[in-house]
Amino acid sequence: MRGLILLLEFVAITAPLTWLWLNGGQEAYMAFFKEVARPLLVGLGVTSYPPSAVRDRFIGFVPFVALMLITPGLEWRKRIGGILISFPIVFLCQVALVFAVYKIVVQGGGWNDATRTALFPFTVLFDAIPLLLWAVFAHEYLGGLLQRVLPPVPAPEAVDDGEG
């Protein structure tokens, strides 16, 4: 029953956040990203990049926020602190993704099967960053779940090395 409640809480938080993202949030974030990331990207030598290559990846923060808000046993200070600490980490990962797109796609001659294949590991990694950050902050909760699901690890037995 607790799992169903968590799922409903997740949907109740994610649905409006996703709606906000799709109805203006994405454009606002892209404007913010272009302005704030510009000095970093220029410093990395990025002269241009196709926004469509990275724009849809930026929504990954929405489920992260929802997970941070619904995780049982997480103190509010840790929830809010985790979200605030994670935002610049995710932002910098997005800058790194833009750099990867620039190096692989823009300097690599455009979109083709080879550039899509080369970019795939970067997109998977950067899509996973918010989930990995949540796992860091929710490690006690996740550890408790694993203890209920996995069999206990047997205690090590004394090993007779023959010298005793």
- Can you tell me the distance from the alpha carbon of 32 to that of 20, in angstroms, rounded to the nearest whole number? 16
Cβ partners under 8 Å of residue 127, min gap 6: 57, 60
pLDDT tens digits, residue range 75-118? 999 999 999 999 999 999 999 999 998 988 888 878 888 888 88
Q: Are 98 and 54 in contact (CB under 8 A)?
A: yes
pLDDT tens digits, residue range 1-36? 778 898 898 899 999 999 999 999 999 988 999 899
pTM for the structure as a whole: 0.80
- Can you tell me the distance from the alpha carbon of 53 to that of 105, in angstroms, rounded to the nearest whole number? 9
State the pLDDT at residue 119.
Answer: 86
pLDDT tens digits, residue range 127-155? 899 999 999 999 998 888 888 888 777 77
Query: In the chain, what are the domain boundaries?
Result: 2-148
State the pLDDT at residue 35.
Answer: 92
pLDDT tens digits, residue range 45-72? 998 877 776 777 788 888 999 999 999 9
| DSSP of 66-91 | HHHHH-TT--HHHHHHHHHHHHHHHH
pLDDT band at 164 (very low <50, low <70, confident <90, very high): low
Mean pLDDT of 154-160: 69
